Amino acid sequence: MSNDTATLALAKALIQEPSVTPDDFNCQNLMIDRLEAIGFTIERMPFGEGDDRVENFWATRGSSGKVLSFAGHTDVVPTGPHDAWSTPPFEPTIIDGYLHGRGAADMKGSLAAMVTACERFVANHPDHNGKIAFLITSDEEGPAHNGTVRVVETLQARDEFVDWCIVGEPSSTNAVGDTVKNGRRGSLGAILTVKGVQGHVAYPHLARNPIHDAVPALSVLAAEEWDQGNDFFPPTSFQISNINGGTGATNVIPGDVTIVCNFRFSTESSEESLKQRTLAILDAAKLDYEIQWNLSGLPFLTSAGDLVEAVVDSIQAVTGLDTELSTAGGTSDGRFIAPTGTQVIELGPCNATIHKVDEKICAADLDTLSAIYELILNKLLT
């Protein structure tokens, strides 16, 4: 007989499914079975074909009033070599009170806590106010083209909107609830190709070195103050992540060089302002160049409001912690939900081991997180 709590048992069941993005395997079925049993209506929303097919579902309970949605993903990042792990990554194992397995922290533990919180809440409040919803995808760790963004577009097209959304991303630092994300920076990527003239290094006057041409402009871009941030966001940052040029030979001046770079930007800057200022710097350097842009997400912020209040108060009541509101870190699927006017908070377990070998979470934290979720439901829907 297992002594596992309901939340730990469900987390283990989810971890056992090798759902490397974008494959869901059986994770969503496990969640759907539990949600249907407590009165949720399930709408499966697969998008894409063949290898691009992504499993999603939208589940609702209640017929009218404000909507509180839990959002998350069943897919996980690849494990890397299994022999690098202390235990097999898809065999959930408890070691010294920690649940080991790929997805334990990011974010199958959160999914389990969401489901069990709703099970207890519905048992105590079968006629609760408003609607509870789940927006679940298997395409968050991958391209994110056929996941949450497509579900949100579908809901918008039929005038369905979410008032409050809790995303189960691992937000905490040292203890569950010590940090929540009430926003995220935007992400604007670019692939810059600077063109030159290939030639022999012994005859530079017969060639044009695109690396030499590009370096002064890159130095200006790296030193630029794009904005000063604000009370919620650090200043916008520009980072070069990759430079590739040359034939591999030591005696050939390359014909072009490709630079991959990224802006993580605050609400003090916009996509257009960053593009315009970048082009002005490149043009001033008189470069022969091409640039391709990729906007991964706009910045969003949920500051004051009933969701923030409910989350902060619930964390304090369950854990005694005064939570920190943060916008640090990478992007999340919250970037697709917030632009619809939804208040979005990311609240999940500690993130110290996410995407690492031997990913793990304190097993007891799962029940703490579930209790916080349940109290938020009580505060907003009763």
- Name the pTM for this structure: 0.90
Q: Is 140 annotated as catalytic?
A: yes
Asked whether the predicted pLDDT for residue 329 surpasses 90, the reply is: no
Mean pLDDT, to the nearest integer, of 128-142? 97
- Per-residue pLDDT band at 105 (split at 50, 70, 90): very high
> How confident is the model at residue 290, as a pLDDT?
98
Selecting among 23, 55, 140, 367, the annotated active-site residue is 140
Question: Given a cut of 90, is residue 331 above it in pLDDT?
Answer: no
Query: Alpha-carbon distance 362 to 129, whole Å?
Result: 33
The percent of residues above 70 in pLDDT, for the chain, comes to: 100
Average pLDDT over residues 375-382: 98
Q: Label residue 223 exposed, middle or buried (CB < 10 Å: 0-12, 13-18, 19+).
A: exposed
Percentage with pLDDT > 90 across the chain: 94
127 is catalytic: no
The one catalytic residue among 17, 23, 55, 75: 75
The pLDDT value recorded for residue 254 is: 97
Round the average pLDDT of the chain to a whole number and report it. 96
Cα angle 15, 79, 136 (rounded to 5 degrees) comes to 45
Residues 6+ apart with CB under 8 A from 262: 187, 188, 189, 190, 238, 239, 241
Tell me the average pLDDT across 303-332. Answer: 94
Q: Nearest Cα to 44, choosing from 54, 277, 292, 286?
A: 54
Whole-number pLDDT of residue 300: 92
Q: 358 — alpha (psi -120 to 50), left (phi > 0) or beta?
A: left
For 3-30, the pLDDT digits (tens) are: 899 999 999 999 999 999 999 999 999 9
pLDDT (mean) for 173-193: 96
Q: What is the pLDDT of residue 330?
A: 80
Rg, Å, the chain Cα set? 24
Reference 41, options 160, 140, 146; nearest CA is: 160
Res 303: pLDDT: 87
pLDDT at 1 > cutoff 60: no
The pLDDT value recorded for residue 48 is: 95
Question: What's the rounded mean pLDDT across residues 305-332?
Answer: 95
Cα separation, 70 vs 36, in Å, equals: 15
In this predicted structure, the answer to whether residue 380 has a pLDDT above a threshold of 80 is yes
- CB burial string 75-108: b at 16+ within 10 A, e below: bbbebeeeeebeeebbebbeeeebbbbbbbbbbb
Q: Which residues contact residue 368 at a Cβ distance below 8 angstroms, ignoring those fewer than 6 apart? A: 176, 177, 318, 319
Count the helices and strands in the chain (H runs, E runs): 9, 19
